[in-house]
Amino acid sequence: MRTLEGKVALVTGGSRGIGRAIALRLAEEGANVAFTYNASHDKAAEVVAEIESHGRKALAIRADSADPAAVTNAVETTASAFSGLNVLVNNAGVWVTGEIGDVTVEDIDRVLAIHVRAVFVAATAAARHLPEGGRIITIGSNLAERVPGPGLSLYAASKAAVLGMTRGIARDLGPRGITAVVVQPGSTSTDMNPGDGPHADDQRALSPLGRFADAAEIAATVAHLAGDAGRFITGTAITVDGGTNA
């Protein structure tokens, strides 16, 4: 049974990695899916074709999540094109590392703009369209709760902010029957953090399972939260990190 039959979802940063896996899984579950991308039109076109292969409607929207107007426009475009919105997945992200003294003010501004401000802006815009039963799901990181090494202060701070924000959003929108949850992946094999990268062995050593997640495993958690089974989960984080933070 398709758990999202007839629903509309928007995934930010949906052309690759975890975002792509989420967009495809939501389509498999029956949703019509819009997603944003920033650079690669070819990759976006591939995702559109894959979503349509599941018999669902797809829409690729070029938008830089660092631009608040572009984020709002993506939400409005989705709601207009598909006559509504049921699920917002805030996934767009950047990987910026560096120890204190090496991170620049420009780094700080860009990371917070994409990881924090864009989430707030998208949630604000989505709240105007989400009906009872609507979902706001944000991809955070297990680094929000445990930082295992140097150079991660800025990234961890931005993801910790998302958790606090989500708890507040859950309180604000709960009376309308709308939930808000953070999914916190651990090391997941993507272009941004490949499972065969130079630091992969160190990351695997932190997990009791001794491996990276597949992006499809993160997408499965998002699909659970987006469907009927997730209707009583709100104001919290679900960590999917193979036990790294245990």
High-pLDDT (> 90) share of the chain, %: 93
Domain residue limits at 118: 8-240
Residue 2 falls within a domain, yes or no? Answer: no
High-pLDDT (> 70) share of the chain, %: 100
- Domain tally, the chain: 1
**209 close to 14: Cβ distance less than 8 angstroms:** no
**189 close to 18: Cβ distance less than 8 angstroms:** no
Residue-wise pLDDT tens digits, 25-75: 999 999 999 999 998 899 999 999 999 999 999 999 999 999 999 999 999
Residue 231 falls within a domain, yes or no? Answer: yes
Residue 21 falls within a domain, yes or no? Answer: yes
Residue 105 falls within a domain, yes or no? Answer: yes
pTM of structure:
0.96
Residue 1 falls within a domain, yes or no? Answer: no
Can you give the CATH number for the domain in which 112 is found? 3.40.50.720
Residue 3 falls within a domain, yes or no? Answer: no
Q: Identify any residues that bridge with 228 across adjacent strands, giving them in sequence order.
A: none
Mean pLDDT value of segment 154-165:
98
Residue-wise pLDDT tens digits, 214-235: 999 999 999 999 999 999 999 9
**Dihedral sign from CA coordinates of 54, 57, 61, 66:** negative
Residue 246 falls within a domain, yes or no? Answer: no
Instruction: List the catalytic residues.
Output: 155
